Amino acid sequence: MQIYLYEDESCLGLRPINYFRHSAELEIGMTSIQEKWQAFGIQTLLLGRNHSVQVESSENSIFILANVIPSYELCDTVRQLEIGTALYQAETLIAFKTLQNLNFDQDLYLNTFSLSFKQKIQLSFLNDQLLFPWDIVRLNTKWLKIDSQKYESKVMPYEQVAMLEPNNITIGENVEILPFTCLNAKYGKIVIGNNVKIGANCYLEGPLFLADHTEIRAFTSIKDTSLHLYSRGGGEIASSVIYAYS
């Protein structure tokens, strides 16, 4: 079975953040949408724009809208799709299996209006979908909590560092936490990756994700936030998503 994540005109609302990256590469919680599919055991290829691949529709090909965030129910439903069947969430086509030729517009978005299906299935459950940039912030807390469930507690003693609810804290390798910092995991898990630096006199409150090679400056208060690879944070940060290399 080959799964393709495609973009259609519904992804235009995510500009400018998806202008130079595929919508499935957008990160929410701790991982990207594509990585969330992989976590469910479904390997995918990105279809469209700079990720164009040679597509030959076959009985083993399934196409899924790239800005839809997967769930257990959706993954099970997608695996059972038959040829000529489409999945809809309200009026939105979110997945289909077809042998028809695929057409792309000038921006390499898939033109789904030219497709016809012998069976249309309305989903009985609601899946999160990113339609606008603010949806990433709106849904980030929810997905921080979901993604953090796979992490087990892992802490180590740090001099003059307070940890509240240490069973909800995971700290990676080669992490530097300077004195007079507080990690408060009473309201959600705190996950800290590898090679992270946290300055003195900081307050960290969960749910919180600090990816590998991130840095928190001294006297920072941060909560309810995802800080991705090689990014830095300072000051007062709340309910934010900071993408890699920021």
The string of DSSP codes covering 180-191 is: SEEEE-SSS-EE
Residues of the chain with pLDDT under 50: none
CA distances from 155 to 109, 147, 165, 173, 211 (A): 46, 19, 11, 10, 16
Q: What is the per-residue pLDDT across 159-188, written as a single tens digit (0 to 9) for each?
A: 999 999 999 999 999 999 999 999 999 999
Q: What is the per-residue pLDDT across 214-235, written as a single tens digit (0 to 9) for each?
A: 999 999 999 999 999 999 999 9
Up-side HSE of residue 175: CA atoms within 13 Å toward CB? 23
% helix / strand / coil in the chain, to the nearest 5?
20, 35, 45
pLDDT at 177 (0 to 100): 97
pLDDT at 233 (0 to 100): 96
pLDDT at 215 (0 to 100): 98
Burial code (b: 16+ CB inside 10 Å, e: under 16) for 142-176 equals ebbebbbeebeeebeebeebebebbebbbbeeebe
Is residue 114 helix, strand or coil?
Answer: helix
* Helix locations, 80-170, DSSP H: 133-147
The single residue listed with the structure tokens 């999160």 is 128
Q: Exposure of 193 by Cβ count < 10 A (0-12 exposed, 13-18 middle, 19+ buried)?
A: buried
